[in-house]
Every structure is written in structure tokens, then in C-alpha cells.
Amino acid sequence: MLMHPLTVNGNSRLPFWARVREFAVSPSMIESATARRAVGDWSGACAAARIDVDLNLRAAGRVHGREFAAQVRADLRHLAPDLLRWHFPRIGPDGLVRPGLTVSLARYPSGTQLVARTPPAWADAGQRISLALWEPSRPAAGAGRHPHPRPDRRFRLDLHRHLWDARRTGELWERSGAAQWFAGDDSGLHNSCAVNRWAGEAALLLRADERAEGAVVVRLGSRQRLVLNLGEAAEPSGGRALPVLPDAATWVLPDLELLRAGLIDADRLHPLVAAGLLLEPGTSRSPDGSGNSRLVECRGGTHRIGVVDGVLVPLDHAADEIRREELLVALGGTPLPCLQAIDAAHRRPESLDDVRAHLDHGATSTALAIVEGLLGPDVLLRGGALRDELETAVQRRVAHGLYRAGLTGVGLAPSTSDSTKR
């Protein structure tokens, strides 16, 4: 799942996953994708979840036969793309989808796999994911400039279909170890490792790979490996060729940890996750901007600023007073506190971190809604951090478009916060 970010020890996972759950998959995305999936519009559901479809079922049917095409079509019709995004592997510190990754979703008798791919980091604007068919006989076919077109051994959702297939979400209760968790058994939760599930998950992996060996490698960090043999963990000894236990089987489901820590309620979980954990979610809350007006301490009184006719303005100063104050500012004077608050909202608003997070996670419409709620839909942004973030987001969208077109992104500006992201 789910890449284990940051460290293995302590509770560093909790703020990380709390941020992912707040920004990565919005309630509006879930609602829209679910509605389209419910009427059989799988491609529309993918579009709602910002997932591109890079496969042609008719062409695949001509190559592999009608039965193969029917299998893939059935999987696509039951794909919950918003749930796939919810569980997709992520990286620290901001919880963005892991870039340059190919994840197997389903394997077919022909050897072909349905895969989900993410673009390289330089083209990750919009946090888009793409669906494709991977052919073992042509491992790079159709992958374009993707850096790692082959399915990753560490991230295998073909063995964890309950994390994306709406038909299988009922398996989450058992596969996540929720039964032991709700019973208060902490024996398998040491350091966020799902130790109590390792033996069972290792058996599933070995059967899927038709391996006779009774051992798998468990990756606990960039330099820490264990060899799991018949339920016993030991130091590795020449185990490089052994199969790797997928991350989704290695770590505790983050939602369980967040629930236990009180950092998330059932009504903030993805509905399919809540149902799989036998919880009753309430009505999901949609992100919003600020209120209709804000209060400012100005010249001994409490004044209001708010959006009028599409622009943020001071509400408790007459128009002629504002014109005089603006003239004084132009001549080098100190502006009214109300005007200072409006200028600060343009250049670096208190909600800038939220705007940046939504932009980072591809929720451009939500970020713009916050800006419009703060400054008005007709605002002309002044120079500052907020405008810089929006301009950078546009440039990164251009980079993603170039990647999709098979071109390079040389010369495009990185995100203003990239230096702390990757």
C-alpha cells in the first residue's frame, strides 16, 4: 500500500497518512466516480478520479481473443478508480503518489497484466494515474517515456484486489487484520508491521507465483530485510532471488492506525473502506473555503473584510476613505489594517498551505475554490507566494502534457516546494 514513508519506528506514519486522507482523494471525487461506476460508465469513473485510460480493448481482443477482452472489460467495470487512488503507494513528506511506478492490478492467463502507472516526478502535475496493458513479451511497448514500465515486485495489487475491485472490498476486514485490531490484539502491530498477517500473505504470494520455496523477503526499509520462512523471521542469507512480500501485506492499513489514534472518523473514510471494515460512515464533508467575511482589528475597532461583486474588499470603510488611503499608500504611507489584511490575503493567505496541498495532490478545482472563496472569483492576484504557486501549477500541468505527448519537460520550472518534497 502502500509504501511505508519516512521511518519504521514511532508514529511518523500518522501525520503523514492524516495529510494524505485530508487532501489526496476528495469527497466530491468519490461521489462523482461512484455515480458513474454505478451506471456502468467505467471510463467516466476513471475520468472523475483523474485516471487516464491508455488501452484499447478492441485491439487487445484481436490479439488475445474475445474471452481475454471480456475479462479485462469486467475488471474495468468493477474498478473503483477513486479507491485505487485512496490506496495507491505514496511517498513522503507530502503523501504524493509514488512517481515512475508500474503497479499490477490483474494478471491474465496469457501473461498480460492490467497495470496502473504514474508519470516520473518531473511530470506529476495533477497526480494522474494511467491504466494500460503490459505484455511480458513486449515489456516496454506502449509505455512511451515511462522510466519503469515493468510491474514492480514490491507493489502488487493483483494480490490485493480488495484495494481497487468493488467486488472484493469485503475482504478488507480479514486481509487488513481488522478482526484482531478491533479485538485489541496488538501482537501484530509492532512498529506498524502487520506481522500477524505475514505468514498468510506469504502463502498467497507463493501460490500466485507457483513457487515451491517456503520463503519470502520482507522489506522493512531501504536497508533492512528479513527472510520469512514458515512464519519465522530470520536474517537474510542469499535471498535476493526470493519473492518480495508486497507492501500492502507488510504494513498495517493506515486507516486502522488513524482510527486507533483518533485522527480520522468513519465518516471521513472512503465509503468502501468503511464498509469493508464494517463501520458506518456518515455524510462525507466537502472541502470549502473561508466564510463570507473575516474580522480585522483596525484603528481601535473590529472591522470586516469580505467578497463583494467578486472581489475581496473592506466592508466598514466608505469608498472615498479607501481611495484616500490607497493614494497615501502610493505616496509611501502606511495602509489601513483592513487594506494590509487584504494585501496579505492576496500575497500569502493563511490558507496558502491548504491551497498548495490541494495543488500538489492534483485537486486544482478545490484549490481554486479556496482562492475564490478567499479573494473572490474576479480577483486579479498581486505578486507573492500565492500567485507563484498558481503559476507554478500551470507550468507543471504543461510538463505533464509534454510527458503524455512523449516530449521532454526540460526548461519547465519545478514546484516552489519541490526542494522539500523528493
Cα(26)–Cα(268) distance, integer angstroms: 10
Strand ranges (E), 183-341: 215-221, 224-229, 232-234, 293-298, 301-308, 311-314
Biggest CA–CA distance in the chain, Å, is 85
Q: Residue 239 has what pLDDT?
A: 44
Beta bridge partners of 308: 311
Q: Residue 230 has what pLDDT?
A: 57
Segment holding 99, helix H or strand E: none
Q: What is the pTM of this model?
A: 0.76
Cα(240)–Cα(225) distance, integer angstroms: 10
Task: For 287-330, write each residue's pLDDT tens digit.
Answer: 333 445 678 888 888 888 888 877 888 888 888 888 888 888 88
Q: Residue 183 has what pLDDT?
A: 60
Is the C-alpha dihedral spanning 233, 181, 207, 220 positive or negative? Answer: negative
Q: Residue 47 has what pLDDT?
A: 96
Q: Residue 83 has what pLDDT?
A: 98
Cα(417)–Cα(275) distance, integer angstroms: 36
Low-confidence ranges of the chain (pLDDT < 50): 1-10, 187-189, 231-240, 282-291, 410-422
Tell me the three cell numbers of residue 366.
478545490
Name the residue among 26, 15, 6 with its Cα closest to residue 359: 26
Contact 153, 243 (CB under 8 A): yes
Buried (b) or exposed (e) across 403-416, using 16+ Cβ within 10 A? bbeeeebeebebbe
Q: Residue 210 has what pLDDT?
A: 84
Task: For 92-151, write each residue's pLDDT tens digit.
Answer: 888 999 999 999 999 999 899 999 999 999 998 889 999 999 998 887 777 778 889 999
Q: Residue 28 has what pLDDT?
A: 93
For the chain, the structural domain boundaries read 13-170, 193-251, 294-402
